[in-house]
Amino acid sequence: MHSDGTRAEGSYCVLERSPSLTPLLVRGALRSPFKRPAATADFPRTRLVLPALRVDLARLAAYERVCGFPTGEDALPVTYPHVLGFPLAMSLMSGRDFPLPLLGLVHTSIEITRYRELAATGEYELSVYVDGLAPHRRGTEAAVVTELRVGEEVVWESVSTYLARHRTNGTDRERDRERHEPLPGVDEWRLAGDIGRRYAAASGDRNPIHLYPLTARLFGFPRAIAHGMWTAARCLAAHGTPQAVLVRAEFRAPVLLPGTVTYAANGERFELCGGDRVHRVHVSGGVYPLT
């Protein structure tokens, strides 16, 4: 048994409880200066597993309120398993054997597949692993997979990409983005300055860039910025999702807090845009029913 309450089982590491995020943030920050990111670097092959997981319904309700999802239903929002898996992902990405520095790591995209409705009162097995590294024109990108199971059945899974910026030879191409005309605006949202703190309290992600202007300025931002996963969740709460669904979202520019943004949508596609003088896309994505 390890000191952090885990026991290793080959390439699996079974956790007795979900790790606390704050110590992982500190550990990852302290190790960041010693990392040498490269797409050819080795990466951890361990799958972290949290069996017999049950959802804290009070935290879930707080998450639903801050993201705009309906409350009181026995169903998990489509983005909530990411919150459950994030401490496990952080445990891997803050480890000594993960080659990308946690400081400055940017969540660039997420793809979620929900195969059926998930009961908030259900019991699940949660697992997270690093699927690989890939070159990016601005550095190196890591893919992190999160899975939720009921018995042997995968009922929800996601792939998140995280970018570590560093010098490259400039020959690797950024992931292709579909080019579209701007989507029609649906609603304007005025975002309060405490959105980052409210989302942090519900999700556990207390990265200082999201909390206060002073802590954000330490990392080069003029004000606190919204969590990328909050922006995606808020868009999906407005858009709506069928029970069996594939969701994609790309995080393209930070949302400064407080601020005003426009939620835009047309059919399966959605965007979160900001700025009166220029059409700046913060988040773009789509909702695709599974047939």
Give the DSSP letter string of 24-72.
Answer: HHHHHHHHGGG----TTS----PEEEEEEEE--HHHHHHHHHHHT--SS
Packed helices 228-239 and 57-67: angle between N→C axes, nearest 10 degrees: 80
182-to-38, 264, 270, 273 alpha-carbon distances in Å: 35, 8, 10, 9
pLDDT score, position 246 = 98
pLDDT score, position 282 = 96
pLDDT score, position 201 = 95
> 167-208: per-residue pLDDT in tens?
887 654 455 555 668 899 999 999 999 999 999 999 999 889
Low-confidence ranges of the chain (pLDDT < 70): 1-10, 170-180, 275-278
> 205-251: per-residue pLDDT in tens?
988 999 999 999 988 899 999 999 999 999 999 999 999 999 999 99
pLDDT score, position 154 = 98
